[in-house]
Amino acid sequence: MNLQTIVLAAEGGAIPVVHPVDADGVFSLLWLIIALPLAGAVVLLLGGALAPRALDRVGHWLGTATVAGSFGLSLAMFVSLLGRSEEERQVGQHLYTWFEVGGLDVGMDLLYDPLSALFLLLITGVGALIHVYSIGYMEHDARRRRFFGYLNLFVAAMLVLVLSANYLGVFLGWEGVGLASYLLIGFWQHKHSAAAAAKKAFVINRVGDIGLSLAIALMFTTFGTTDFAAISESAGDASQGTLNALGLLLLLAACGKSAQVPLQAWLLDAMEGPTPVSALIHAATMVTAGVYLVVRSNFIYDLTPTAQTAVVIVATVTLLWGAVLGCAKDDIKKALAGSTMSQIGYMMLAAGLGPAGYPFAIFHLLTHGFFKANMFLGAGSVMHGMNDDVDMRHYGGLSKYMPVTFLTFAMGYLAIIGFPGFSGFWSKDKIIETALAENLVVGLCALLGAGITGFYMTRLMLMTFFTEKRWADDVHPHESPRLMTVPLIVLAALSVLGGVLILNDFIVDFLAPVTGVAEHHEPPLAPLVITLIVTLVVAAGVAAAWFLVGKRDIPREAPQDVSFATRAARADLYGDAINEGLVVQPGRRLVGGLATFDRVGVDGVVEGGSAAVGGMSGVLRRVQNGFVRSYALSLLGGALLVVLALLAVNLA
């Protein structure tokens, strides 16, 4: 079956079916990849009651070790997977039956295929590096053990998300990462802004989760199961309307988790969390879960062009939206967050383009995971040296004081703007190329986005590491400790070299069993010409930044008399205002109206009824006056009534 599918897929156009073989050898340890960080989380979060001192001393190493162990296992499996023939590259492991209700049978099943494999490497690899970095970054935080517990919890949940073999398992991980994200954004809960940001992220994510849960419910009713295997096999039997609904609901879920318009508002606020959290969760892994969901659901999206179009539109809007935000923000983390939103837009765009785009979505996801984690950690390093100041207007000329941070950050910078040879160059270029081949407008938007990326990243780079010093007097920038710089160096290396995955179309062929093989579309121009154009556009963006930012004085305080566009971008393009006006206020009015209705209408009927009965009883009880003669009178009245009734009945 599987072989046949591959053959069909190789001919182009066919949608691959998920058909895992049983786990054996190293793959039988699949469960351990999840279990390790989960055990770490349990020990760190619950064990504190037993041995707080000891855990405070070694907890962070324990947390790092579990993720590193998972990474080792992932690497071993990845190597083992490469050694297998293509038709055996989907491995399933049935752990236990999760629950069984009526005709519904949901197992705790794991699926290890090329897609999961890449994700595992990204999550555990980047995760382990960020854990190491966090040891240094969180050194002076009293609650470091708890922080590592949360991080481990997040990694475990994320692994559940990408390893699960059915949508319900994905949902479990989906909610798990949402919880971890909430806990970590609000880690410094004593700051009101952090607590509010955590709540905002949680609430907006719930909106997306509704999409996922509804999609799962729809799958139950349509297919009677949530297994990838079964659904991929029978997806073609479902009606077009159902498939459209499924695609749109999954897109809603992806929007919530991946901060796509219109559910984008939480991501910038989420930067209130510690910087490693921003790097791991809100740049490298969790926010890409939406892309994973779309790519994983390729067997649905390939059948519903409507939903695919919606994905492309959402992605294009987000791509530009995030890029514009990134241009105006002075907060280094928020600028990076806007960039993240924009880059995820690229991934979603690729994912929305169908089989031709899936590999490049994942490719860009990986390279983005490297260079964006690198830059976030670099930003954390800068903040570390600048007394936790995040305003880029207070930086300037740091390249001399933080050479390692500067160099690693520069690698990430070159990667993201797509400097030829760096990882981002390959991945983004491929996406734009594919987009141009599919739709000219979308392709041009992506191209424009690349130019804006060049602009805002150059602006960030210039304001932070070049131009003149604008520090406060008591700031003494210094290089970060080795524990923080080593992960930076590793990630910088990955940012530079990530592009090797595209060599010889490795990633396309590697992912083919999952995503299928695209029919070949001829781009409007030769690929080389497109590459050249992209590079030129990026260069134009860089040059614009150089002339607009680098050549001018940067005031320490952000100027207020700026153009409308700048004001709008600073205000997140009025995303919060739109939410407020379109959802929150009407919702508040609706709830207020309902509350009033409940108070006046429902309570009025209930309480009014009881009050009426009570009042009537209060009047009627006067009949019970204690005078036996009164009672006798009513007896007589009753007897008279009976007699009259008898007469009436008998005479009638």
Partner 1 sequence: MAFWILAPIMVVAALGILFVRKAVHAALLLAVVMISLAVLYAVLDAPFLFAVQIIVYTGAILMLFLFVLMLVGVDASDSVVETIRGQRAMATVLGLLLGLVLVTGFSQIALGTAVGLDEANEGGNIQQLANVLFSRYVFAFEATSALLITAAMGAMVLAHRERLTPKSTQSSLAAQRMRDYAETGKHLGPLPSPGVYARHNAVDTPALLPDGTASELSVSRVLAARGTVRSAPAFADDIDEVRRQLAAGRSDATADPDRMPEQGGKDGAPATTEEDVPR
Partner 2 sequence: MTNEYIVLSAILFTIGCVGVLTRRNAIVVFMCVELMLNACNLALVTFAKQHGNLDGQIAAFFVMVVAAAEVVIGLAIIMTIFRTRRSASVDDASLLKY
Q: Which of 627, 648, 651, 652 binds partner 2 (CB under 8 A)?
A: 627
Sign of the CA dihedral with 489 first, then 490, 493, and 494 last:
negative
Four-CA torsion 388, 393, 394, 397, nearest 10 degrees: 110
Q: Which does 622 bind (CB under 5 to 8 A by kind): partner 2, partner 1, none?
A: partner 2
Q: Taking the complex as a whole, how short is the minimal distance between the CB of residue 639 and partner 1, in angstroms?
A: 7
Q: In this chain, which of 625, 638, 641, 644 binds partner 2, going by CB under 8 A?
A: 625
| Of 613 and 640, CB closest to partner 1 | 640
Closest CA to 68 of 148, 8, 5: 148
Q: Which residue in 221, 239, 563, 624 binds partner 2 (CB under 8 A)?
A: 624
The position carrying tokens 């930012």 is 549
The stretch among 65-73, 184-192, 607-615, 622-630 that binds partner 2 (CB under 8 A) is 622-630
Q: How far is the CB of 632 from partner 1 (least distance, A)?
A: 9
Residues between 517 and 546 that touch partner 2 (CB under 8 A): none
Tell whether residue 614 is a contact of partner 2 (CB under 8 A).
no
Q: How far is the CB of 630 from partner 1 (least distance, A)?
A: 6
Q: Find the DSSP H helices in 165-269.
A: 167-185, 192-223, 228-234, 240-258, 265-269
Distance of CA 572 to the CA centre of its chain: 18
In the list partner 2, partner 1, none, the entry touching 140 (Cβ below 5 to 8 angstroms by class) is none
> Secondary structure of 2-60 in the HEC alphabet?
HHHHHHHHHHCCCCCCCCCEECCHHHHHHHHHHHHHHHHHHHHHHHHHCCHHHHHHHHH
Establish if 103 lies at the interface with partner 2 (CB under 8 A).
Answer: no
**Binding segment (CB under 8 A) for partner 2, from list 184-192, 205-213, 246-254, 628-636:** 628-636
The secondary structure of residue 503, as a DSSP letter, is: G
Least CB distance to partner 1 at residue 590 (A): 56
Site residue total, partner 1 (CB under 8 A)? 12
Q: Does 190 bind partner 2 (CB under 8 A)?
A: no
Comparing CA positions, the residue from 253, 250, 108, 214 lying closest to residue 222 is 214
CB atoms within 10 A of CB 222: 18
642 forms part of the interface with partner 1 (CB under 8 A): no
Q: Is 91 helix (H, G, I), strand (E, B) or coil?
A: strand
Q: Which is nearer to partner 2, 503 or 628 (CB)?
A: 628
- Strand segments, DSSP code E, in 88-234 are 91-101, 104-112
Q: Least CB distance from residue 636 to partner 1, whole Å?
A: 5
603-632 positions binding partner 1, by CB under 8 A: 625, 627, 629-630
* Coil/strand/helix, residue 99: strand
Give the binding range for partner 1 (CB under 8 A) out of 21-29, 255-263, 308-316, 633-641.
633-641
Please list the helix, strand and coil fractions of the chain in percent, rounded to the nearest 5, in that order.
75, 5, 20
Kindly give the pairing relationship between strand 21-22 and strand 104-112.
Answer: unpaired
Q: If binding is defined by CB under 8 A, does position 613 make contact with partner 2?
A: no
* 82, 600, 620, 633: which one binds partner 1 (CB under 8 A): 633
Name the token pair of 265: 């508002």
Whether the upstream peptide bond of residue 403 has omega within 30° of 0, thus cis, is: no
Judge whether 251 and 307 are in contact, CB under 8 Å: yes
**Cβ proximity to partner 1, 610 vs 630, nearer residue:** 630
Residues lying near partner 2 in the complex (CB under 8 A): 621-622, 624-629, 632-633, 636
Q: Which residues bind partner 1 (CB under 8 A)?
A: 625, 627, 629-630, 633, 636-637, 639-640, 643-644, 647
